[in-house]
Amino acid sequence: MSRLRMSLAALLAALSLANVLYAQFPGLDSLLALRPRQLEAKFIDSTVRLRWRSPETPVDPTFYKIYRSSGFHLTDLLGSTADTTYDDTTVVMRTEYRYAVTAVHRDTIESLPSNIVKIYTGERDDDDDEVRIEFTSKPPRYAIVQHAFTYDAEVSTSPPGIPVCFRLKEAPDGMTIDGATGVISWTPERAGCYEVEIVAHTCDTLSGKGKQEFRLYVLSGVPGTVAGTVRNVSADGLPHVGVKLFDVGRGEFVLKTSTADSGHYEFPIVNPTTYLVRAKPEKRPYLPQWYDGAQRITDATPVVVPESGAVRVDFTLMVRDTNRFHLEGFVKNAASEPVKGAKVFASLLGHDRWSDDRFDDCHERKYNE
């Protein structure tokens, strides 16, 4: 990608990977979920320090590519790293740079770029009249279908007291913003996940600009809660066990969290619908389990979360069977004569299985982003 634009082959490859990772999560959202998130840049001691968050995928990318340009188009591949940080020590002082990061999955499939950040290397001239705008309000994360949603976006300016105007750069259909006050209004019609980006700029000129991006999750009703404790057969709480909610209606994992040191976990805001719940330990001594005591998703007990309801889902995990057995015997024909060269196969039956691989790569998001 010479200009951070995806070729048709790369786009098809990304679509193929998205289909694997998100079996029923179609469209652009799948591609967006593959890219790095929340790229930030700081200039410290002649170095531009970049940091970002990994994509919302169950498996981390193989590595990341960092792009940089001092012009409008990001034409230069600066480098690559397996970390979510990168220090650029090759910058020229008193120059404005733009940066973006892509994620490379499975060694070859490159994602769409992250957000683009802009940074100036050095202090600006005293007569530089650019206004700095920062958002000071925190956007809500949830809305409810057919309920009015509002959000009052607030900003601060440096120097203070500069009039600021607002606009929506990205928003779902029907969402509006008051250009003078920054108040967003919307009545969602469907449940789902929506990308929102607000741009704030000085009203008289475009010399100052700030933006705020967030995801808004629209629920079908007043949310409930799901909580519980994961224990072993000795009733000891198990820490660091991943707990995930599989939305039966959507056919995908939608929430995940981990148990605390006591083995307790909680999803404080859950869309009211039917789920299958899975507990998977971080380490192998314990086997994963679907509620209630099932090995496979087809045997799991559904959990119905009503509006404003509190549901408790507890797990007792079994220790993985590490015993080894010696099998011997004879193979004979109908006349009780030994059969030479017969092949004997053995297969394991029961619950002792580490993973149901069909559902390890489904779409999921952490509750605490």
Tens-place pLDDT, residues 46-66 = 899 999 998 877 678 899 999
Q: Are residues 24 and 100 in the same domain?
A: yes
| The residue type at 10 | A
pLDDT at residue 234 in the model: 94
Asked if residue 362 has pLDDT above 50, the reply is no
In the chain the first and final C-alpha atoms are separated, in Å, by: 30
Q: Which of 198, 227, 202 is nearest to 215 (CA)?
A: 198
| The residue type at 102 | T
Q: Are residues 164 and 114 in the same domain?
A: no
Is the distance from CB of 87 to CB of 47 less than 8 angstroms?
A: yes
pLDDT at residue 282 in the model: 81
Q: Which of 92, 120, 148 is the last residue of a domain?
A: 120
pLDDT at residue 18 in the model: 52
Asked if residue 351 has pLDDT above 50, the reply is no
- Domain region containing 317: 224-321+353-359
Tens-place pLDDT, residues 116-157 = 998 988 765 544 557 889 999 999 989 999 999 999 999 998
pLDDT at residue 56 in the model: 78
d(CA 187, CA 192): 13
pLDDT at residue 122 in the model: 75
Q: Are residues 208 and 161 in the same domain?
A: yes
pTM over 0.85: no
Q: Which of 219, 242, 266 is the last residue of a domain?
A: 219
| The residue type at 48 | V
Q: Are residues 61 and 106 in the same domain?
A: yes
**321 compared with 256, residue with greater pLDDT:** 256
Q: Are residues 112 and 143 in the same domain?
A: no
Residue 30 lies in a domain: yes
**Count of structural domains within the chain:** 3
Q: Are residues 101 and 142 in the same domain?
A: no
Q: Which of 184, 219, 254 is the last residue of a domain?
A: 219
Residue 138 lies in a domain: yes
Tens-place pLDDT, residues 199-229 = 999 887 656 789 999 999 899 998 999 999 9
Tens-place pLDDT, residues 297-329 = 999 999 999 999 999 999 999 987 666 667 788
Q: Are residues 184 and 283 in the same domain?
A: no
The CATH number assigned to the domain holding 298 equals 2.60.40.1120
**183 compared with 17, residue with greater pLDDT:** 183
High-pLDDT (> 90) share of the chain, %: 50
pLDDT at residue 15 in the model: 54
CA distances from 337 to 327, 329, 332, 343 (A): 20, 13, 5, 16
Q: Are residues 317 and 256 in the same domain?
A: yes
Q: Are residues 75 and 100 in the same domain?
A: yes
Average pLDDT score over residue span 20-25: 45
State the pLDDT confidence band at 197, using cuts at 50, 70 and 90. Answer: very high
Q: Are residues 236 and 203 in the same domain?
A: no
Q: Are residues 207 and 247 in the same domain?
A: no
* Class of residue 100 by CB neighbours under 10 A (exposed 0-12, middle 13-18, buried 19+): buried
Asked if residue 369 has pLDDT above 70, the reply is no
The CATH number assigned to the domain holding 47 equals 2.60.40.10
Residue 282 lies in a domain: yes
Tens-place pLDDT, residues 84-124 = 999 999 998 878 889 999 998 877 888 888 889 989 887 65
pLDDT at residue 205 in the model: 63
State the pLDDT confidence band at 4, using cuts at 50, 70 and 90. Answer: very low
Residue 339 lies in a domain: no
